[in-house]
């Protein structure tokens, strides 16, 4: 087993997000950060996965390599459609979660089966973000590409496959073994063709999406036979099960090498990774403020929301992760900050110069359409403009409030499914802004716990890697500060009136 120079067991966690790839290397026992690295991803909602592979190699090199790392797990952005042909080549650029061209396909799938049936079989109602809707779009819009599809993976599945040495024949030591594809329950539950209750794929729903039969990838000791013409989907492994162990060295982009013997964990979807990194348990709900916004918690009970607002995903431990996702979170601050020619910090300072409620100025922040509520073609709007409210401070305040009010509606939806909220955490880059913290305590009307800044998705992946390596899930301490509740219900009330 690989060890550091001082005898510690080291594990690595990867966060392959929409914007970048982050790598954290930690002590498996204490969770202490040993070193970190990162690399950027290209912009866009349709991306060649090769950029993620290149960024992974660069980020690992930036983190000092994996020579002394015993285990790794990769967390990644959910839902992205990575379609492979029989030779392991990517059929077309991956459609990401925030690509809404499949909105009509989602509506067709809902109409064909009905909301209640979708919730009963998958825990969700299809919207443009989910993988299955992108497969329906591919079937209808790019029939030649659809005909080439031999396997469908998600971003973290594909990266883990490549890291283990698989891929196109001319680019990988182990070649295009599609049966080596593997994933975990948290990411599979965001496809729209996996049941988080039975923890099984739903072949009928996959075929409804792509128009072709599917079969799960076969493990090495699986001797059963199935339809060899069926499209392969990754085998779902248990949260504490190794996806595989490198039998030989694998050369990575950026000049680094993953050494033989490296254990590769199952990985996770990014939100499940954050939940694991934060150590969330029943009663804990996190609001994450990245480019997009999410509200998610951990519960041991089944979650069903026929409205489709709350998706009943699986988490990274075998429990459930009810989640609400918006397309517009920190993006809102970037857009309005750009308009005012200020950075996030300066925008926050301006926001605190205006009163709670911004004297009636409300920003409904649907800048790129919206996923929750499901309005893919919506645009942002600003209402309540008067000579007194049309200034820099009021606009900054409306931006912060609009971002948080949209997520407060998400929190209310999670609670409506029966999830009890005893602790509310605020994470993500925008949570470091003092104005965002203060306004959150007003909009949510409860104490808000702010964990120390950190890469919690990568941390969760590293914690999973330690679990797989040692056989037990470690407890890594996360310190936090608390912003006391400062209820201002009028802020959310006026937002809801404007957002109808």
Show which residues are catalytic: 270
Strand, helix or coil at 13? strand
Report DSSP state, residue 433: -
In whole angstroms, how large is the CA radius of gyration of the chain? 22
User: Taking phi first (over 0 means left), then psi (-120 to 50 degrees means alpha), and beta for anything else, what does residue 11 get?
Assistant: beta
Locate 57 and state its tokens: 């190699």
Helix then strand then coil, in percent of the chain rounded to 5, is 35, 25, 45
DSSP 101-159: TTHHHHHHHHHHH-HHHHHHHHSS---TTSHHHHHHHHHHH-HHHHHH--EEE-HHHHH
66 to 71, 246, 251, 263, 365: CA distances (angstroms): 9, 12, 11, 11, 42
The answer to whether residues 213 and 227 touch, using CB atoms and an 8 Å cutoff, is yes
What is the phi/psi pair of residue 137, to 5°? -60, -45
Which long-range contacts does 219-226 make (Cβ < 8 Å, 24+ apart)?
A: 219/179
Report DSSP state, residue 78: S
The answer to whether residues 442 and 488 touch, using CB atoms and an 8 Å cutoff, is yes
Residues linked to residue 37 through DSSP beta bridges, in sequence order: 23
Which long-range contacts does 3-10 make (Cβ < 8 Å, 24+ apart)?
A: 3/68, 3/70, 4/34, 4/68, 5/68, 8/34, 9/70, 9/466, 9/469, 9/470, 10/34, 10/68, 10/69, 10/70
Most distant CA atoms of the chain, gap in Å: 74
Cα gap 184→180, rounded to integer Å? 13
The reply to whether omega before 241 is within 30° of 0 (cis) is: no
What is the phi/psi pair of residue 74, to 5°? -115, 125
Strand, helix or coil at 474? coil
């Amino acid at each position: 087993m690989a060890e550091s120079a001082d005898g510690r067991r080291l594990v690595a966690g990867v966060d392959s997000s929409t914007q970048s790839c982050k790598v954290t290397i930690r002590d498996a026992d204490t969770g202490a950060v040993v070193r970190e690295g990162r690399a950027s991803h290209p912009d866009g909602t349709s991306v060649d996965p090769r950029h993620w592979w290149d960024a992974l190699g660069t980020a690992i090199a930036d983190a000092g390599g994996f020579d002394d790392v015993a285990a790794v797990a990769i967390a990644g952005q959910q839902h992205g459609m990575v379609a492979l042909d029989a030779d392991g080549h990517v059929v077309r650029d991956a459609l990401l979660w925030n690509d809404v061209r499949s909105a009509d396909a989602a509506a067709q799938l809902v109409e064909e089966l009905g909301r209640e049936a979708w919730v009963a079989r998958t825990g969700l109602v299809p919207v443009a973000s989910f993988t299955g809707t992108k497969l329906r779009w591919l079937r209808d819009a790019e029939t030649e590409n659809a005909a080439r599809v031999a396997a469908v993976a998600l971003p973290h599945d594909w990266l883990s496959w490549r890291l283990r040495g698989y891929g196109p024949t001319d680019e990988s030591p182990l070649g295009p073994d599609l049966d080596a594809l593997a994933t975990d329950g948290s990411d599979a539950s965001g496809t729209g063709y996996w049941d988080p209750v039975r923890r099984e794929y739903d072949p009928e729903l996959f075929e409804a999406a792509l128009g072709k039969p599917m079969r799960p990838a076969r493990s090495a000791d699986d001797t059963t036979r199935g339809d060899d013409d069926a499209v392969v989907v990754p085998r779902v492994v248990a949260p504490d099960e190794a996806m595989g162990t490198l039998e030989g060295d694998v050369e990575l982009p950026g000049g680094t090498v993953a050494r033989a013997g490296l254990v590769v964990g199952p990985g996770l979807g990014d939100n499940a990774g954050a939940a694991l990194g934060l150590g969330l348990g029943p009663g804990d709900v996190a609001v994450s403020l990245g480019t997009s916004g999410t509200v998610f918690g951990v519960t041991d009970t089944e979650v069903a929301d026929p409205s489709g607002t709350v998706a009943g995903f699986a988490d990274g431990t075998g429990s459930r992760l009810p989640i609400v996702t918006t397309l517009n979170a920190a993006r809102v601050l970037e857009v309005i900050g750009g308009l005012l020619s200020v950075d996030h910090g300066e925008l926050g300072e301006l926001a605190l110069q205006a009163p709670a409620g911004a004297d009636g100025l409300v920003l409904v922040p649907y800048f790129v359409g919206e996923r929750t509520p499901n309005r893919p073609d919506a645009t942002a709007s600003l209402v309540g403009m008067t000579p007194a409210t049309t200034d820099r401070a009021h606009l900054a305040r409306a931006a912060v409030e609009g971002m948080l009010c949209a997520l407060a509606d998400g929190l209310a939806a999670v609670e409506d499914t029966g999830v009890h909220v005893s602790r509310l955490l605020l994470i993500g880059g925008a949570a470091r802004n003092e104005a965002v913290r203060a306004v959150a305590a007003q909009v949510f009307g409860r104490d808000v716990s702010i964990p120390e800044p950190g890469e919690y998705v990568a941390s969760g992946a590293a914690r999973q890697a330690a679990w797989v390596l040692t056989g037990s899930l470690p407890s890594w301490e996360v310190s936090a500060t608390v912003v006391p509740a400062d209820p201002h219900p009028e802020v959310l009330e006026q937002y809801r009136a404007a957002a109808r």
